Amino acid sequence: MPKFYNKITWTVVIGGMALTSTSMIEKILDVLLEKNLNIKLTDEKDGIIGVALVVIGLTYHLLAQKINGLSSRLCG
């Protein structure tokens, strides 16, 4: 059974990867919404935020595994 920290890691990393990649549909929606409603879906910092989320998610996962391994050695 997967650990809870695995689910958190997957969520954060997938969210970060989604911010780093931009699809054609997203670009079209961004242009249409900005032109008609003056709403912007993305900005220039999305890629940086996405990479930061991936790094944070993977670091969290490694730390959680380390803590889990340490506690299992201490308890049994």
- Whole-prediction pTM value? 0.62
- Residues 9, 57 contacting (CB under 8 angstroms): yes
The runs of H, that is alpha helices, within 1-76 are 4-20, 24-37, 46-75
Q: Which two tokens stand for residue 63?
A: 């730390």
Q: Which residue has the higher pLDDT, 75 or 50?
A: 50
List the chain domain ranges.
Answer: 45-69
For residue range 50-62, list pLDDT tens digits in order. 888 899 999 998 9
What confidence category does residue 76 fall into, taking pLDDT thresholds of 50, 70 and 90?
low
CA gap 22, 1 in Å, rounded: 33
- % of the chain residues with pLDDT over 70: 91
For residue range 10-20, list pLDDT tens digits in order. 888 888 887 77
